[in-house]
Structure 1
Amino acid sequence: MKSSFGSSRSPKTIALVGKYHSLEIAESLRGLAEYLHERGVSVFIERETAEHVGRQVDLARWVTCGFNDIGAHADLAIVIGGDGTMLNAARRLSRYRVPLVGVNQGRLGFMTDIARCDMLTCMDDLLDGRFTAENRMLLDAEVVRDGREIAANQALNDVVVDKGAIGRMIEFELFIDGEFIYNLRSDGLIVSTPTGSTAYSLSSGGPILHPTLTGIALVPLCPHALTNRPIIVNDRADIELRVTHAEDPRVHFDGQVTLDLNPGDSVRLRRSEYTICFLHPPGYSYFAMLRQKLRWSEGPKGV
């Protein structure tokens, strides 16, 4: 779902979140903070970002705070880094409904729209309310052992159950809305949102889902039976993976948080009640982004 951010909602307080351990991030973050201050915006810098980046540039003049305070007080957050930095910020801020803007200083940057060289130019459009809002769904996940929940988390990209460090396949049962679907022997299963369909899911043969869709993709990893193909289910589906046999099973949330599993554990997934709002600059096109990032329409390169 897209809508105009609107000039009536021009942000007064903006939080900056950056990738750690990068001099380029430090310089960009300081320059952005100074620019926003000159435009009359109150600037917060996320605490861990400040602790790491502040070793390289002086950030003493800016207010530093944690994600809880950002959620309570910021009108939006600008994420400077790559998709990994954006994923972390999205999970931490989704319940506060803080919109996110991405400045790409990573590699592909499917979720970070603004190039570093265009950063300050785009800020004029942002502060004047000319960005477009787009909501993305998230997944809620819980891990159940012996009938009780032992862990819970969210994912913007995907939840992956896999075989861990052992070379043998994992075996599990898949249920959708309580209905048994199949037994799967494989390296694992990716449960992906539309946002995550261009990540691990894509490299594993899954479909690309436009981010305005609300389906959930189930993509087997190297299935033993070649007839186990990716499927897409309704976003209202309750999904359950029951581990039946594995040596070292694990579950991963957005590839950033990992939990060890035991045989008999269940991973239960459903659409989250929260969404994350991305703000896109004028002229943003999802398909143009795919053409650029995935190099569609390029001819063969000379040898």
Structure 2
Amino acid sequence: MKVGIYGQFYHENSEIYIQKLLDILQKKGIEIFIEKKFLDIINHNQDITKNFSGLSTFSELDSSFDLFFSIGGDGTILKAVTFVADSGIPIVGINTGRLGFLATIQKEELTKSLTQILEGKYTISERTLLTVETTPANNEVQPLNFAMNEVAVNRKNTTSMIKVETLVDDKYLTSYWSDGLIVATPTGSTGYSLSCGGPVIDPSASSFVLTPIAPHNLNARPLIVPDSAVISLKVSGRENTFLLSMDSRVATLENETWIKIRKAPFTIKLLQLNEDSFIKTIRKKLLWGEDKRN
């Protein structure tokens, strides 16, 4: 088995779990490749007892990898998606962060969870992505023109609202006067969209949600559309530019640029232990069903 390991930085005490992950994989004789920048972080951290400088590194992935471990929170997984892209390599999210809707392997149960994974006791949850095309073309958008959580347009360098002209399948929907607009996947429905009043959507649903950000019109509400829909946006405002975000990546676009958002031609595979489910995750993370009156 050949695995890749990726992280962005250390969370508190995460060196314990990085050490444990590496020890377990090495004892099993698994071929380990660590993302080059992450290995530099590991070797510069004094709390790691071993020197792992002899491990192989990668800057890009290919289809020879069997699993890709993401160590951190949900933001780290979103970054890991840019490495995996359309390769089909399953991502294993080890949560050393806080909330963790995507990184569902808990650090406290790492040994048990790894044993289950190496024994094949897991399922694969396939997640829909969005892809973006702009007219005119913008070099900041390419080549990583996809997002697993959401694509959003936001105002830039101004406190004034922007106007987001919105079409669905080339049919005019409305013009949102707001701070911006989020187009989210079911996976992203528990992220930025949720904080702006959007609904929680099961990741297996074939839909996207359009969620306005602080809309001026009180009758502007989140709208769910089928994931076969093509969503077109054109932004205008007092400033000459605005922001386009694709998960954690941000580009600056000129006003009147047309943005076309549609379902990507590939999915991302997230590994999920047999005992876990989306329903269990949201119940735990959102504290549903718990009596907080005392």
TM-score by length of 1: 0.90
Map 1:133-212 onto structure 2 (within 5 A). 133-145=124-136, 148-150=137-139, 151-152=141-142, 153-212=145-204
Aligned equivalents of 2:109, 2:10: Cα separation in 1: 22
Taking only the aligned residue pairs, the percentage that are identical comes to 32
Q: 1:251 aligns with which of 236, 244, 252?
A: 244
Aligned equivalents of 2:215, 2:259: Cα separation in 1: 19
Aligned equivalents of 1:71, 1:141: Cα separation in 2: 23
Map 1:27-38 onto structure 2 (within 5 A). 27-38=16-27
Residue 72 of structure 1: CA displacement? 3.4
Aligned equivalents of 1:287, 1:71: Cα separation in 2: 33
Task: Decide whether the 8 Å contact of 1:138 with 1:271 is kept in 2.
Answer: yes
| Number of equivalent positions | 286
Letter in structure 2 aligned against 1:140: T
1:63 aligns with 2:56: yes
Cα deviation 1:158-197 (Å, max 9, x = unaligned): 0110112311001121011111111121110000000000
Secondary structure at 2:269 match in 1: strand
Aligned equivalents of 1:243, 1:23: Cα separation in 2: 41
Aligned equivalents of 2:159, 2:267: Cα separation in 1: 36
Unaligned runs of 5+ in 1: 1-11
Letter in structure 2 aligned against 1:46: E
Letter in structure 2 aligned against 1:64: T
1:20 aligns with 2:12: no
Task: Decide whether the 8 Å contact of 2:198 with 2:209 is kept in 1.
Answer: yes
1:110 aligns with 2:101: yes
Letter in structure 1 aligned against 2:57: T
Task: Decide whether the 8 Å contact of 1:236 with 1:271 is kept in 2.
Answer: yes
Aligned equivalents of 1:39, 1:125: Cα separation in 2: 13
Letter in structure 1 aligned against 2:186: P
Residue 296 of structure 1: CA displacement? 0.9
Aligned equivalents of 1:18, 1:235: Cα separation in 2: 31
TM-score by length of 2: 0.93
Aligned equivalents of 1:275, 1:54: Cα separation in 2: 33
Aligned equivalents of 2:96, 2:10: Cα separation in 1: 12
Unaligned runs of 5+ in 2: none
Residue 32 (structure 2) aligns with: 43
Residue 40 of structure 1: CA displacement? 2.0
Task: Decide whether the 8 Å contact of 1:250 with 1:258 is kept in 2.
Answer: yes
Residue 71 of structure 1: CA displacement? 2.8
Aligned equivalents of 1:149, 1:178: Cα separation in 2: 22
Task: Decide whether the 8 Å contact of 1:246 with 1:263 is kept in 2.
Answer: no
1:53 aligns with 2:42: yes
Residue 131 (structure 1) aligns with: 122
Stretches of 4+ aligned residues off by more than 4 angstroms: none
Residue 52 of structure 1: CA displacement? 1.7
Residue 4 (structure 1) aligns with: none
